[in-house]
Structure 1
């Protein structure tokens, strides 16, 4: 991302297509940085994390703030409410999330654990909805948050039924270690996906975070194309994997059937 964030100047004849693209890329880098931060950030810190000149970041922050895409706290910035409002109008996110909610609620009631619903975006999963349970470990996952797909049960469930080109892209970018138990060897990872295809359920046994276990299943849409994943997460010492697997599988099949009928 930093190579694309180089400071570019426009000619006096007006912005070029490349200049416009560069400005958009830098703006996205700033928004991504603020989205990943737990607190509001100042200009210098944003510039450091993005690898951008401070002067460019300052101008960009003022413009984004003027459009209400950012909120300001003294000299620090955070994402603005307008971004959330715009996100609610993304058809894929809105439709899938609204369809999944009742099935997620039933799944949480059946298991007592936190329930996640996510889609694949590049090499990460993006969580469209999260139902946290007080009985489950405090997780960093949140609606709109991202997590490396290869290290999560929900990501593996989606990848196991994705096109081969998608898997090859994941392997090409590497499998970074998220915990001591993350599968980082391509051969082992491919074998794991094959097992998931056989049983229809994926497990994350402390692969994304120590002490946490997750059970996930893929969700299919029209023509049996995988469109998302659904999962439950809990303390690895408390979660009943067999019971959770049966409940998650039932929820995923029911939601898949609903999406297929609605699309038909």
Structure 2
């Protein structure tokens, strides 16, 4: 949806239209047909067809026999020339690996992107509960542990928008009443941890904590996801390690880091003065 809005706002220039087409592709949309590109970008079908054809000729896009477009090899080559800064993921990976080794459970790293939690890293194994998350996927803020952490520290305007929206009930345990959700967010801010049990998927529970950037603002959330039946046994035991990992990551980030490219920052995190009471 953000791609569509960006295209409509910036669609007056050739370069913005080209980047709108390229930006339509993502981890969860690696292959798109012409009709899909038109829908995602909001550009006229004739414009999208012309740009896509030129990008195929330049090697920036690849067109399959069935008419499906994919990112071309030339784009991958250009991407490899980009300097690799020390990113949030770079800093977090050793601690994510340690948490997984200690728990055998899913470990997630997420950032705020628009009105959703964007997963930028995940580690799991054969003992981990099967969860519907992948790197690059987005999940609702109100129904996930990482989402509640990010929402609890989000700008006042974003919190108000989420609380005023029609919150989707994913399971019988999903908190969809604004008053209850507001109290849950207040508890997250007071305790520094979010606990979420079967709110997005039955059979799973998670605990999540905030990660702070150089200015002490929350820039990400780190979580461990386990089987619900093992929650009292495993998640309570892992909370100290989870807090320590987040604190260690935050300490390293205090020296500065490059933002993850997936996180647009259009509704980025803020300090306590901007949060809902």
Shorter-chain TM-score category?
A: 0.7 to 0.9
Give the superposed CA RMSD.
Answer: 3.6
CA contact under 8 A between 2:105 and 2:124: conserved in structure 1?
yes
Residues 156 and 33 of structure 1: CA distance in aligned 2, closer, same or farther (over 3 Å):
same
CA contact under 8 A between 2:24 and 2:37: conserved in structure 1?
no
> What is the distance in 2 between the residues matched to 1:108 and 1:49?
36
Q: Which of these residues, 58, 62, 73, is aligned with residue 64 of structure 2?
A: 73
Aligned to 1:43: 34
Does residue 1:154 correspond to 2:146, yes or no?
Answer: yes
Residues 87 and 123 of structure 1: CA distance in aligned 2, closer, same or farther (over 3 Å):
farther
CA contact under 8 A between 2:197 and 2:205: conserved in structure 1?
yes
Which has the bigger relative contact order, CA under 8 A and spacing at least 6? Answer: 2
Residues 154 and 140 of structure 1: CA distance in aligned 2, closer, same or farther (over 3 Å):
same
When you count helix as a share of all residues, which structure comes out higher? 1
Does residue 1:99 correspond to 2:91, yes or no?
Answer: yes
**Unmatched tracts of structure 1, length 5 or more:** 9-16
TM-score by length of 2: 0.74
CA contact under 8 A between 2:129 and 2:226: conserved in structure 1?
yes
**Unmatched tracts of structure 2, length 5 or more:** 258-277
Q: Which of these residues, 227, 235, 252, is aligned with residue 241 of structure 1?
A: 235
Number of residues of Structure 1 aligned to a counterpart in Structure 2: 251
> What is the distance in 2 between the residues matched to 1:221 and 1:117?
14
Residue deviations 1:134-184 (CA, integer Å, cap 9, x gap): 222333322232222222111111222334333224334543334443222
Does residue 1:211 correspond to 2:203, yes or no?
Answer: yes
Report the Cα offset of residue 83 of structure 1. Answer: 6.3
Report the Cα offset of residue 242 of structure 1. Answer: 0.5
Residues 18 and 95 of structure 1: CA distance in aligned 2, closer, same or farther (over 3 Å):
closer
Q: Which of these residues, 252, 259, 264, is aligned with residue 258 of structure 1?
A: 252
Residue deviations 1:1-41 (CA, integer Å, cap 9, x gap): 49x58x99xxxxxxxx75228x846963774466434x734
Q: Which of these residues, 108, 112, 135, is aligned with residue 116 of structure 1?
A: 108
